[in-house]
Amino acid sequence: MSIYSFQTTLSNGEELQLEKFQGEVLLIVNTASKCGLTPQYEELEGLYKAHKAKGFEIIGFPCDQFGGQEPGTDEEIMEFCSANFGVSFPLTRKTEVNGENAHPVYQYLRSQAPADEKFDEAGALQREDRDMVESSDIQWNFTKFLIDRNGNVVHRFAPTVKPKETEDIIEKLLGEVV
């Protein structure tokens, strides 16, 4: 099983097969419109515009599981993101990322990159500390998962890591030959 085995539904109701992103670098982010971290949308859009032509994609998964900070409908969320941050990357329907109703994409991502895993200087997961991880749950809005061109989850960024701070790792992955 890989990230390409999954599908999701976009905010407009269209089905999105993640296999569409094979060979591209992918950043998956759980988002919210009424969070202190919501301004990260601006940096996410900047990364998307700067690197899309090189094979970089972002998918935002709006989520209301953290303090009710994504209260709108799918249409309201898309309108908010477009009007306030010019978001042009795909946004899914509102999604649960934790618990028994967590979207299968997030079940997979959490299994591949549990919280507090260690990474080497290149951003690759270091698996030997897996037994020290207490929980793979997403802790807050704007947790980011970076997937390389081969579909491997290579990094999980904490919500407080600004999108711009991930750019060096993204550029390195974009420069690698498939």
Q: Is 45 left (phi over 0), alpha (psi -120 to 50) or beta?
A: alpha
* DSSP states of 156-167: EE-TTS-GGGGH
CA dihedral angle for residue 143, residue 174, residue 148, residue 105, rounded to 10 degrees: 50
Of 3, 26, 29, 35, catalytic: 35
Residue 117 to residue 67: CA distance in whole angstroms? 25
* Known active-site residue 35: yes
- Whole-angstrom Cα distance, residue 39 to residue 3? 27
Exposed, middle or buried by CB within 10 Å (0-12, 13-18, 19+), for 111?
exposed
What is the residue-wise DSSP string for 20-33?
GGTTSEEEEEEE-S
Query: Which residues are catalytically annotated?
Result: 35
